[in-house]
Amino acid sequence: MVGALHTWLRAGCQADMEWIGRNADKRTDPTRVLTGARSAILLGVNYWPASEAPMGSAKWARYAQYRDYHESLKPGLMAIGRLLEEWAGLTSEQYRYYVDTGPVLERGWAERAGVGFIGKNAMLISREYGNWLFLAEVLTVLDIEADAPLPGLASRMGGAEKGRIGLHCGNCTRCIDACPTQAICSPGVVDARRCVSYQTIENKGVIPRELRAGIGARIYGCDVCLEVCPWNRFAQESRRVLVDARYDIAQISLAELLAMTPERFAEVFRKTPMKRTKLTGLLRNSCIVAGNTRAADCLDAVVALAAHPSEMVRAHAVWAVFRMVDAATAAGLLDAARSVEQNPVVLAEYAAESGG
Ligand code: B12
Ligand code: SF4
Ligand code: SF4
The per-residue pLDDT for range 216-226, each reduced to its tens digit, is 999 999 999 99
Domain of residue 106 covers: 1-59+66-172
Residue 356 has pLDDT above 60, yes or no: no
Given this model, what pLDDT does residue 161 score? 62
Domain end position, chosen among 172, 192, 218: 172
Is there a domain that residue 208 lies in?
no
Q: How far are the Cα atoms of 48, 49, 180, 208, 228 from residue 232, in angstroms, in the given order? A: 9, 12, 20, 32, 8
Q: Which of 156, 172, 188 is the endpoint of a domain? A: 172
**Gap between the Cα atoms of 143 and 161, Å rounded:** 26
100 catalytic, yes or no?
Answer: yes
Domain count, the chain: 2
Q: Is the pLDDT of residue 75 over 70?
A: yes
From 149, 172, 195, the end of a domain falls on: 172
| Catalytic residue chosen out of the listed positions 25, 100, 143, 300 | 100
Q: Is the pLDDT of residue 160 over 60?
A: no
Q: Is the pLDDT of residue 159 over 60?
A: no
List ligand 1's pocket residues with C-beta within 6 A: 1, 4-5, 8, 17, 20, 61, 63, 99-100, 104-108, 118, 121-124, 131, 133-135, 161, 165, 188-190, 192, 195, 197-198, 202, 221-223, 225-226
Neighbour-count burial for 126-144, b at 16+ CB within 10 Å, e otherwise: beebbbbbbbbbbbbbbee
Ligand lying nearest the CA atom of residue 230: 3
Report the C-alpha gap between 242 and 264 in whole angstroms: 27
Q: How many residues does the chain have?
A: 356
Q: Does one domain contain both 283 and 141?
A: no
Assess whether pLDDT exceeds 60 at residue 187. yes
pLDDT for 174 beyond 90: yes
Give CA–CA dist 286/200, Å, rounded. Answer: 10
Atom in ligand 1 nearest the alpha carbon of residue 175: 77
Half-sphere exposure at residue 138, Cβ-oriented, CA atoms within 13 angstroms: 25
pLDDT at 158: 64
Residue 178 covered by a domain? no
**pLDDT over 90 at 93, yes or no:** yes
Do residues 156 and 276 share a domain?
no
Residue range 191-215: average pLDDT? 98
